[in-house]
Structure 1
């Protein structure tokens, strides 16, 4: 199917789901950012109350300090503490809730679909609002990191992904020459500070394009979709109630999914257990 037959990338922002099993997802992240809250800056009581409220679903906790690294020519790397960080993990440790004084993050490697994921992000936001009285959020994001690996699957990549996403992958490089690394970026703006950042390409084993994503030992192809909306005016941020959070998160997820479905072929869907 060529580009003309497929139509514009975002012709339809809401595309029907095709459940994949196993889905080639390395992780999914949902994040809500907010301004520094006095209730979190004045002590640990609010954070402790939040952890207690989530203890049944997320019984494991890790507490630490976030650090920023500063690099200066000719000087040793300087570490600067920028605040406390709390991490809560689910029973199976596949889902993580992270909180600092600026962001609430939900991360999972056990993705059950955008409805379930956005419901959970909204639930976490509702509990957080009850405890901290956070008035609004200045950024909401949903990010999907897809990873294709395994020699047999990579050998079929030109049949699984449309040409626009392949770049130099699949190009004849000549004898005894192998393409080991290629990474491309693209950003789309939908107005009203809604954006989608796309990164895609082939990585060698042991490499990663993002230090927060663990590398794998074998060559792989990644498609990273970071869909977000920002609210630069503090007077008109995203309402912190769960209903508004869910609606905004679902909209982010739908934009990412629209691009994903445009990027991959029907053979991709069937290869990963889907039934288009």
Structure 2
């Protein structure tokens, strides 16, 4: 099917979910950013209250300090502590809630669909508002990291992914030549500070394109979709009420999912246990 027959990427902006088992998701992240809150800066009471409210679903806690790395030519890497960080983990440790004085993050490797995921992010936001009285958010994002690996899957890559996303991966480099690494990046803007950052390519074993994503020992192909909306004017941020958070998160997730379905073929869905 050529590009003209497939149509524009966002010609049909809402695409139904096709459950995949196993889904090739390395992780899914939802994040809400906010300005520095006095209630979190003045002590640990608010953070402790938030952790207590979530303790039934997220019983395990880790507390530490965030660090920023500073690189200077000819100098050793410098570590700067920039604030406290709390991490809460679910019973099976597959889902993480992270909180610092600037962001609330939901991360999971057990993704149950965008409705369930956005519902949970909205629930976390509701409890956070109850505890901190945060008025607005300055950014909302939903990010999907897909990873394809294994000799059988990589051998079928040209069948599973449309050619626009393959680049040199879809080209025969010639006898005795191996393509070990290629990574492309593109950003799509939708107006009103809504964006989709797309990263895709082939990685060798032991490599990662993002230090927050663990590497795997074998070659793999990644498709990373970071869908977000920013609210730079603090007076007109995203309302902190849970229904506003859910609507914004769902919109981000739908943009990412629409691109994902445009990028992959029906054979992809079938290969990963779906029924297109």
TM-score range, shorter chain: over 0.9
> Helix, strand or coil for the counterpart of 1:168?
helix
Structure 2 distance, partners of 1:237, 1:83, is 23
2:51 aligned with 1:51: yes
> Helix, strand or coil for the counterpart of 2:51?
helix
Residues 186, 199 of structure 2: 8 Å contact kept: yes
Give the TM-score of the pair, scaled to structure 1. 0.99
2:120 aligned with 1:120: yes
Structure 1: give runs of 5+ residues left out of the alignment.
none
> Helix, strand or coil for the counterpart of 2:169?
coil
| Structure 2 residue aligned with 1:96 | 96
| Structure 2 residue aligned with 1:138 | 138
Structure 1 distance, partners of 2:129, 2:82, is 23
Structure 2 distance, partners of 1:151, 1:170, is 15
- Cα deviation, residue 74, structure 1: 2.0
Structure 1 distance, partners of 2:135, 2:34, is 9
- Cα deviation, residue 71, structure 1: 1.3
| Structure 2 residue aligned with 1:84 | 84
| Structure 1 residue aligned with 2:9 | 9
- Cα deviation, residue 43, structure 1: 0.2
- Cα deviation, residue 183, structure 1: 0.2
- Cα deviation, residue 81, structure 1: 0.7
Structure 2 distance, partners of 1:210, 1:61, is 24
| Structure 2 residue aligned with 1:152 | 152
2:166 aligned with 1:175: no
Structure 2 distance, partners of 1:74, 1:30, is 37
Structure 2 distance, partners of 1:223, 1:261, is 12
> Helix, strand or coil for the counterpart of 2:16?
coil
Moved more, 99-108 or 2-11: 2-11
**After TM superposition, where is structure 1 displaced by more than 2 Å over at least 4 residues in a row?**
none
Give the TM-score of the pair, scaled to structure 2. 0.99
Structure 1 distance, partners of 2:239, 2:105, is 17
- Cα deviation, residue 160, structure 1: 0.2
Structure 2 distance, partners of 1:204, 1:213, is 14
Residues 163, 170 of structure 2: 8 Å contact kept: no
- Cα deviation, residue 133, structure 1: 0.1
2:70 aligned with 1:70: yes
Structure 2 distance, partners of 1:205, 1:73, is 28
